[in-house]
Structure 1
Amino acid sequence: MGKLDRFGRDILEASRQDFVGPAGNQEVLVNQVCAPSNHAADHVLDRLVSDTDVPAHLITRVYSRFIERAYGSLYKGGAWKAEYSFEIQPHLEEHSLHWKVHGTSQLRMAPPAHGHQKAYDKAYVEAETRVLNQSKIVITTCANAYLHSALMQEEKQQILRPVKFDTIVIDEAAQAPEPDVVLPSACATTRVVVVGDHKQLGPVVPERNLCSPYVNILKMPFLERMLKNPRRWEASTMLNMQYRMHPSIRSFPSSQFYDSKLEDRVAIPHRPELNRIWPEAKEHRRFIDCRTPQSMGLSPELTRTCDAALTENKTSLKNVGEAKVAAGLCSLLLKQGRCEARDIAIITPYRAQQYEIRGRLQKDIPGSKHILVGTVHSLQGSEREFIIISFVRSISDDVQDIAPSEEATSMGDSLALREMRKTRLGILEDSRLLNVALTRAKYGLVCIGNSEVLSNGSKDYYDLIQDLKRRGCLVSREDFLQNGRSSQRLIRHKPRRCLNA
């Protein structure tokens, strides 16, 4: 929460220091920041670019060769069809390694790739090395730190490192498998800084052909293993100052997951134009009680990246009703709240719901491309002004709810029904997933879900919904949609001012 502000200043300070070598020559120290996923790495890049005074040419983002090819790189033959490609945000692309390489004199003077591929590749590698050595901060994923050929090369059974890194920072280390923390750390010449929260999501291990003990080892977060050793506590520091969330958004995660130790170091002014969603100046949360059914949806095969969400039995879940509400919220924010699309993110535990929401946005809202839609796992480490969470879990579309809400919690409720609901949350039962989802928002948070099913399935959700009820933040889906339609009519029929009046 406040970690980027803290280690961002440390990186900035380290990047300003140069090293005088044995021969008396001044050498530029290069620092590397690694994160488990592309989303988390881009978030670090965005913050360093927007919140520090480091010149843009000194910050370089290294994407994988697959992504570079998708964005025009002709190294090793250029583009070829891939099943998965990460979308680079337009305002960040100028900081990428492949973008900078294309503007170097080495590549401009190199022979064309077509017909002279080896000569072109040689010039490309030389340009990469030059760009990286002229940078002070290099940002990449943990995997790319030891797999990307611009950062680590193998020649005659020897490992060559074209760039030497003084300090290496591993961000969101709790989400990275242990090898993804240890291997990049081996490249540091002076120090390693490991940053993360062991109370948030751990590694995703998509491989299904590994033996169970090895999978369990990979699922153990590096930070959790470190903190099991009492001596490691002396070398650790809890950053309890949070610089992201509105105090009302911070309140529940702090009391539920961090023993009420989080303190606010942020001032977020109230925006009256958003009163239709968050009517109270001191309360920037909303829970839309959506009783629409869940259904099965196909989920793509998991890739080797950390951007994959957990699936159950090679399938995933979606909730069309919640997707419609999420799209309606986005429309309200963009039209009435005068918000930008890049300030909004929609997160969900399930990949099928991610695609359902993305399809709904493309259909209903022109220009919604820059609204970020992803799984909780893939967006850990990210933040946005406005976060919409779709929990998905509800009564299945082939199951009839035999008890209304008032009777579901009474003494006469069926024990079998209560037990069935208690075990229906699946991956949502992981309290770390809820913690991550609730702590991405800066100004406003909206949760969409079946309050009854969620409350009966987990104590964390029960406590959350009771807290929101006490503060008047719970609204039914029908009331919200009716309120939204009224707002849209007011916008469309707002009388124009007479210029001559």
Structure 2
Amino acid sequence: SNSALDEIVHRIITAGLTDAKGETYIPSIVRVGVNAHHSISSVSMDSLVALRVESSDRAKGKRRLEKDRARIAILDESSIVASTLAFSGCSMFSRMTRTFDVVVVDEAAQAVEPSTMVPLCHGCQQLFLVGDPIQLPATVLSDRAKDHGYDHSLFKRFQTAGYPVSVLNVQYRMHPAIRSFPSREFYDEGLEDGPNVVADTERPWHKHACYGPFAWLDVRGKEFTPEGSGSKANRDEAEAALALVKDLMVRFTELREPGLMAVISPYKEQVRLVKSLFRDKLGAEIAQGIDVNTIDGFQGREKLVAIFSGVRADDKKGIGFVRDERRMNVGLTRGRSTMIVLGSARVLRKAGPWRRLVRDAKARRALFPFTRPFDKSIARLTSDTYKVEDEVYSEEGEDEEWEDDEDDEQDVDYGAESEPEGDWIPRAEPGMSDDYSDSGRA
């Protein structure tokens, strides 16, 4: 997606790359495509072209020709060309005078095979497919296409055929308390923490158990389906998310910086509701700095604080695609320092892995009742006199499980090329260097 691409580009131009001598340098890079985030606009194709082709009164056709030539020159001169798979098929790539030494496809397990083949048409001596087959797969709407294997990625094809796959099992993203359950549930305890991950993810708000590193806030809300929509929303959880964000920003000024928090949900209508609520209550400028997106739209991204809204809260209904373990895996691993689940434990625990997560949260004393008024619940949970061990939960229905025949696949966010609202800017790393030596092209 464009947003995930921008995050990669931002990290490259701020943290740099390491050369063979162990020194950091900033490579020449161009970000090709639409909807480039303002934080990386300095390396976007449009900005670089504008520097070369000054506006003038010359004929429009002549200026267009000059811009086309500038684009090709920029592509030829750049060591790294960053593009989505779809945009790599545009005509300017076919007019380059150089080919690529290396092609790296990120989130390769989420792309259909024809899409992955597009950038390879421009020359490729070495291909790296990077992805997680235990997270969201390639997205295909047609059941007939699925029956013929169109939803299999090239990554999956190689893996199924027995091609050797290198497993990168050391994680540097999230606090060990966030990593704990996904590692056990989805990766057979295969994930290991990097050497500095605890120090990098510890934060002052962890002194309040309800603010992580991992916490489940049990909201007994009501789900609903907006008129004319096949999606679902939950106003109680949306307002609970608002209360949490407001309190965190008031207590901890660090979190007032745009781009550090996110609210994610499986449902598009919940995303719309949260965005609308945040704009109304926080103002457009502050709301824009909080990323609100679907799980499908957030794969490959991360935030310092992530809040997951499960939405489903009806005892008499199933939980739809919230039961999907791959979607659950993505949703629970987006937070770096804090991962908060907002959801009805009573309802979600009736489906396999969610039931195990409820038990895990209770065992770690990370499951808390969260009732209206939410500001009073927050005040209680963050009080100096609050004791986690005082929380008592009924075991009624804990082992109950239903056959969930509800299908809400039509609500999946298939807009992989869309640009989510909000700011995602990660922290810049110190020690940048402008030294650069061209040693290849990707």
Q: 1:488 and 1:90, CA in 2 relative to 1: closer, same or farther beyond 3 A?
A: farther
Q: Do the aligned partners of 1:288 and 1:447 also contact (CA within 8 Å) in 2?
A: yes
Matches within 5 A, 1:56-455: 58-64=28-34, 67=35, 88-104=36-52, 107-108=53-54, 111=57, 116-146=59-89, 148-152=90-94, 160-206=95-141, 212-213=144-145, 217-230=149-162, 232=163, 234=164, 236-265=165-194, 266-269=196-199, 270-276=202-208, 278=210, 284-297=213-226, 315-338=230-253, 339=255, 340-366=257-283, 367-395=286-314, 420-421=316-317, 424-455=318-349
1:316 aligned partner, one-letter code:
S
Alpha-carbon distance, 1:292 to partner: 0.9
Q: 1:199 and 1:214, CA in 2 relative to 1: closer, same or farther beyond 3 A?
A: closer
CA distance, structure 1, for counterparts of residue 209 and residue 87 of structure 2: 41
CA distance, structure 1, for counterparts of residue 279 and residue 55 of structure 2: 42
Q: Do the aligned partners of 1:384 and 1:442 also contact (CA within 8 Å) in 2?
A: yes
Q: Do the aligned partners of 2:27 and 2:80 also contact (CA within 8 Å) in 1?
A: no
CA distance, structure 1, for counterparts of residue 341 and residue 25 of structure 2: 38
Alpha-carbon distance, 1:188 to partner: 3.1
Give deviations 1:37-77, integer Å, cap 9, x for gaps. Answer: 1122122112222322576671211123xx4xxxxxxxxxx
Aligned partner of 1:498 in structure 2 is none
Q: Do the aligned partners of 2:173 and 2:197 also contact (CA within 8 Å) in 1?
A: no
CA distance, structure 1, for counterparts of residue 216 and residue 143 of structure 2: 41
Percentage of matched positions with identical amino acids:
28
Q: Which has the higher contact order (CA 8 A, sep 6+)?
A: 2
Give deviations 1:408-464, integer Å, cap 9, x for gaps. Answer: xxxxxxxxxxxx54xx111112100001111111100001111111111x2110111
2:297 aligned partner, one-letter code:
S
Alpha-carbon distance, 1:390 to partner: 0.6
TM-score normalised by L of structure 2: 0.78
Alpha-carbon distance, 1:95 to partner: 2.0
CA distance, structure 2, for counterparts of residue 474 and residue 440 of structure 1: 19
Q: Do the aligned partners of 1:129 and 1:163 also contact (CA within 8 Å) in 2?
A: no
Q: Do the aligned partners of 1:57 and 1:95 also contact (CA within 8 Å) in 2?
A: no
Q: 1:161 and 1:131, CA in 2 relative to 1: closer, same or farther beyond 3 A?
A: closer
Q: 1:487 and 1:434, CA in 2 relative to 1: closer, same or farther beyond 3 A?
A: closer
CA distance, structure 2, for counterparts of residue 129 and residue 274 of structure 1: 50
CA distance, structure 1, for counterparts of residue 269 and residue 55 of structure 2: 47
Q: Do the aligned partners of 2:108 and 2:155 also contact (CA within 8 Å) in 1?
A: yes
Aligned partner of 1:45 in structure 2 is 9
For the residue of structure 1 that corresponds to 2:299, the secondary structure is coil
Moved over 6 A (4+): 486-490
Alpha-carbon distance, 1:470 to partner: 0.7
Matched residue count: 370
CA distance, structure 1, for counterparts of residue 331 and residue 92 of structure 2: 35
| 1:467 aligned onto 2:388 | no
For the residue of structure 2 that corresponds to 1:130, the secondary structure is helix
Give deviations 1:162-213, integer Å, cap 9, x for gaps. Answer: 552111000000111111112222323311111101000012224xxx5713
CA distance, structure 2, for counterparts of residue 434 and residue 487 of structure 1: 26
TM-score normalised by L of structure 1: 0.69
For the residue of structure 1 that corresponds to 2:54, the secondary structure is helix
CA distance, structure 1, for counterparts of residue 209 and residue 245 of structure 2: 11
For the residue of structure 1 that corresponds to 2:375, the secondary structure is helix
Q: Do the aligned partners of 1:334 and 1:341 also contact (CA within 8 Å) in 2?
A: no
Q: 1:392 and 1:162, CA in 2 relative to 1: closer, same or farther beyond 3 A?
A: farther
Report the RMSD for the aligned CA atoms in angstroms.
Answer: 2.5
For the residue of structure 2 that corresponds to 1:341, the secondary structure is coil
For the residue of structure 1 that corresponds to 2:197, the secondary structure is coil
Could you tell me which runs of 5 or more consecutive residues in structure 1 were left unpaired when the two chains were aligned.
Answer: 1-36, 68-87, 153-159, 300-313, 396-400, 402-419, 491-501
Q: Do the aligned partners of 1:246 and 1:443 also contact (CA within 8 Å) in 2?
A: yes
Q: 1:122 and 1:56, CA in 2 relative to 1: closer, same or farther beyond 3 A?
A: farther
Q: Do the aligned partners of 2:136 and 2:296 also contact (CA within 8 Å) in 1?
A: yes
1:435 aligned partner, one-letter code:
N
